[in-house]
Structure 1
Amino acid sequence: MMLSWLSEKLVTHSSHKRLKALKQTLRAALLGYFYGVVGYLWRMTKRHSLCLVKIANKRRQKQP
């Protein structure tokens, strides 16, 4: 009786731990993906704005 209860406790505890670890890894992966996307967009917008500035400067230079 006591042994079965103990083994049941151990099994549920280990599965709970595993679930918690899985949740943490999932959260970390999602955060990593999110930051990757944000970083990529940030770099693209920076590059795009630099291109726009260059184009504007060229146009300004062409005008007398």
Structure 2
Amino acid sequence: MSSEYKKGIFLALGAYILWGILPIYWRLIDEIGAFEILALRIIFSVIFMIFVLIIGKNQRNAFF
């Protein structure tokens, strides 16, 4: 099998699994308000971007 075919099978399987898990996820966060979800997404995005910038800065210095 080609690598593209394997990748397609893997992505299709992942989509199928997510399709089954997402209803459970939505039920779990049903009690949380929209503002709290938005606030957590902003906070975690900032933390993630700080991490990406630190890694990127270290990688850039290694190549130049």
Higher Cα Rg, which structure: 1
TM-score bucket of the superposed structures, by smaller chain: 0.3 to 0.5
**Which structure's residues are more often helix, by fraction?**
1
TM-score by length of 2: 0.46
Q: TM-score, length-normalised on structure 1?
A: 0.46
